[in-house]
Structure 1
């Protein structure tokens, strides 16, 4: 099978990727007047049996001119079989059937190839960002320990990925990230709260605890949007896979990211809502930008 090759229509000369291939079985008339398909139909046929017959075909059509193209799916051949340790007269006829798969890669296979490539790039990006360090924060129940680890991870990200190693102020690092305002304000507040707890002059309020519960998923979703968005941009899709529809590609990528996020950051209904909103707006945000 030519996985990556496009079909050239012999009528209109358009090159295309088949949406799919459909089986088409040959029908044979038996001595009893029945209509049978496939090997049994060929064997039971009342007509003279040719040495070679196509039992079934793969068919598809040109999306431009609707010309139907046929490719061999199954063929039967009448072959001479000579038994071992026998005389030259010991020759028997045998019918052998040969099956052929899709002659070209169809739409689903090209979509699978594209999404496999993109998923691999996303996984590499998440690994490079050390996302496991953020995932592990969900196992911390103590709010103060969570804040200490969270800002340690944030400092590592700013220094290693954003080149802020010489800036020792966490407040400056947060502002230099150019985050969405709601995330920036929450991070600045939580950083001050963490410092206040260290000094021993601050106690967490209910609003503080709510912000702590939400900040991990909010910031992780921001990181994914920032670093994964260039990989899943539709402009990249148009360069290499013009025949794949955006809607199908989006569904595959959203499903992949959804499985990742729900398996790692879905400890409460609030996270669930945040993730679903992020996925539903993912490509809307890309289009706007």
Structure 2
């Protein structure tokens, strides 16, 4: 099953047939919201609102571990993240799509792993992840290719087919939030190689990889970042642009779901091989 995590401005997928709504508890707490099982292009899709109904969770308090674990429990093996970002690279314009290819973690205090050694949560189950947690194993995953290449390829093909303005690669710099960044911080991120900046892309990507799930991120550039922008940044402009892109995003998601092959041809499912100490 494919999981969709909707970010700021994308709190539901209207038009998709709702099969059921699931409330689920996890060993890592409650997810941001109940999960909608939808029918999209004849396939079941699990949709989760990252910030919760009514946008009640700020970026630094999103229950990331609970969200990813809940999707895993429902049988999700691939996650598509939808996010709003600020543009740093000069070639990025508001409204452009970016298919993320790498990340820079600039967060400060987030729980970013399931594997905490002797302090790991003891969970039920016979799968490898559950056994590693029960045994208190320390795990170091490789993130040389953190974003699923198969999903990224399908996303780029879909955006090309729909004739939308997009960038096939981009480095996502994740900051702690909830405040926006300073111009000096943006200049530093640019030197580090960041193309876009957001507050929620990490730790979702690594948590998914820790569970051997595929993860891809499609971002909408909503505004130039601080210092790049010539005006004061507001949350309102982010939500307004995402609202204008909502129908377009639904088409992208539907076409992506239809186009993604059932068979996983990537190596994401092997992320735990050789990773445990």
Higher relative contact order (CA closer than 8 Å, sequence separation 6+):
2
If each structure's strand is expressed as a fraction of its own residues, which one has the higher value?
Answer: 2
If each structure's helix is expressed as a fraction of its own residues, which one has the higher value?
Answer: 1
Larger radius of gyration: 1
What's the TM-score bracket when you normalise by the shorter of the two chains?
under 0.3
